[in-house]
Amino acid sequence: MELFINTSGNHHISEDLFEDIIKIISFVDENKSIIQETLFKDDILELAENITSSATFLECSSDECYMLDDGSKVHFPITKDDFFNSLYIESLTINFNKDNYSFIELILLNNPDYFNGSYFIINIDENNNIEFIGSKD
């Protein structure tokens, strides 16, 4: 995971800044399930299966399964737990203004890569509102 800190104005590196960073990282960790759930407002599992089904079809036991470009084997149906277990944080960006942080941006990826390199963007504002912004290639 990469961590980026953006500051504006005369925001000095201080013990308070480091404490804020630790609090923000703790908030993200403690609210992991809420962050994950924000991705389920759209038909994300159906989309994952549609994209994954274009990979190499494999002869598996009784399951329908595919081999992705990264060598991962994916069994259908992709469950919510499968999807959640595949998510990881690629980067966390904290944007500070002169008083506090203004927003946090999380970039999430999957392993196995259900979306062929596309990633998800989650923003968390200064009031701790969590919002799914979208996905990008």
pLDDT at 27: 94
**Model pLDDT, residue 10:** 58
SS3 (DSSP) at 119: strand
Query: What pLDDT score does 78 carry?
Result: 93
Calculate the alpha carbon distances from 86 to 29, 92, 108, 120, 131 in Å.
Answer: 16, 17, 10, 13, 20
- Both structure tokens of 15: 């013990």
Q: Which residues of the chain have pLDDT under 50?
A: none
pLDDT at res. 126: 87
**Domain boundaries defined on the chain:** 2-136
pLDDT the model gives residue 20: 84
pLDDT of residue 42: 61
Return the closest-CA partner of residue 115 out of 3, 39, 28, 38.
39
Q: Where are the alpha helices (DSSP H) in the chain?
A: 15-30, 32-37, 44-52, 80-86
Reported pTM: 0.86
Residue found by looking up tokens 């392993």 in the block? 111
